[in-house]
Chains A and B, each alone.
Chain A
Amino acid sequence: MSGDALLRFADEVGAAGRPEAVPQAAELHLVTFALDREHYGIPVQRVREVIRVGEITRVPQAPEHVRGVTNLRGRILPVVELRSRLGLLPAVLTPRSRIVVTEAQGRVLGLLVDAVLQVTRIPADTVQPAPDDVMTPQADWLAGVARRPDRLLILLELDAVLQPQR
Chain B
Amino acid sequence: MSRAFLFVDDSPLHHQMYRLIFTRGPLAGNTLYHASNGREGYALLTQHPELTLVFLDLNMPEMNGLELLARRAVEGLHPHVPIVLVTTESAEEDEARARTAGAWDYLRKPFQPSDVERLVARALAQAPGTAA
Direct contact of A and B (CB under 8 A): no
Chain A residues close to B by CB (< 8 Å): none
